[in-house]
Amino acid sequence: MTEARRKRLEEVLSRRQPDLTVLLENVHKPHNLSAILRSCDAVGVLEAHAVNPTGGVPTFNETSGGSHKWVYLRVHPSIQEAYAHLRARGFRVYATALREDALDYRQVDYTRPTAILLGAEKWGVSEEALALADGAIRIPMLGMVQSLNVSVAAAVILFEAQRQRLQAGLYQEPRLEPELYQKVLEDWLRK
Ligand code: SAM
């Protein structure tokens, strides 16, 4: 470990946003999961969340660019447990949905603790997960196709969150509590 490498890890860690995350419901395809984690890394998500009630262990592929090493992925046994975990930490959960009555994704204040719920490639977010959410958001679609690829939708929303957080100065000072910062740094140094 060179001094330059350590400095780079510290710089990246001091931009991590512990109060911004995604919750992936049955997002199975490795290329989608990997691409989402890559966007999470670029925006500064510390930990992403997933629930796979239909089973299976999340797997990644080369589209992650190795980002799964730097963005933790916490897998929950059910959507209810994922919500309980996030709510206990003060997160509001916004479900992505293709409904007409969903808010334009740019109307949300992402400087507050926010989790973005994304759904399965085929079925979208489940009715149950949508009902539990604090709100529904959509990316306006003005073309012929009904929806975006899930990893593209994740990136669009995450980069709006990044824009708002940059404007609010949330990347200027480390956001992690010193104890957690140290713990994560030690973990990253071992990678
Ligand atoms: N037929 C599915 C449906 O009705 O929800 C389409 C699922 S879409 C391919 C996969 C996921 O990408 C969605 O669950 C959502 O998380 C996200 N997504 C895709 N397009 C979106 C949009 N325009 N607005 C918000 N989320 C979108």
Do 110 and 153 meet the contact criterion of CB atoms below 8 Å apart? no
Q: How far is the CA of 78 from the centre of ligand 1 (A)?
A: 20
Measured in whole angstroms, how far is the alpha carbon of residue 191 from the centre of its chain? 22
Q: Which of 117, 147, 157 to mutate to test the pocket of ligand 1 (most atoms within 8 A of CB)?
A: 147
169: its two tokens: 């100065």
187 falls within a domain? no
Q: Which two tokens stand for residue 55?
A: 């089973």
Give the count of domains, the chain: 1
Domain-embedded: residue 95: yes
Q: How far, in Å, from the CA of 176 to the mean position of ligand 1?
A: 31
Q: Which residue has the tokens 């447990």?
A: 81
Distance of CA 20 to the CA centre of its chain: 7
Nearest CA-CA partner of 65 in 37, 105, 28? 37
Handedness of CA 86, 75, 102, 111 (dihedral sign): positive
Exposure string of 93-115, with b = 16+ CB inside 10 Å and e = fewer, is bbbbbbeeebeebeebebbebbb
Q: What domain range is 70 assigned to?
A: 17-175
In this structure, is residue 12 part of a structural domain?
A: no
List pLDDT tens digits, range 12-39. 999 999 999 999 999 988 899 999 999 9
Q: What is the CATH number of the domain that holds 68?
A: 3.40.1280.10
Which residue's alpha carbon is nearest to atom 16 within ligand 1? 118
> Which residues are CB-neighbours of 16 under 8 A, at least 6 positions away?
44, 45, 46, 175, 176, 184
* Structure confidence at residue 68 (pLDDT): 82
Q: Whose CA is nearest to atom 4 of ligand 1?
A: 124
Q: Which atom of ligand 1 is nearest the CA belonging to 117? A: 16
Residue with tokens 């931009």: 15
Per residue of the chain (191 residues), give pLDDT as tens: 699 999 999 999 999 999 999 999 999 888 999 999 999 999 999 999 999 866 665 666 666 667 789 999 999 999 999 999 999 999 999 999 999 999 999 999 999 999 999 999 889 999 999 999 999 999 999 999 999 999 999 999 999 999 999 999 999 999 999 999 999 999 999 98
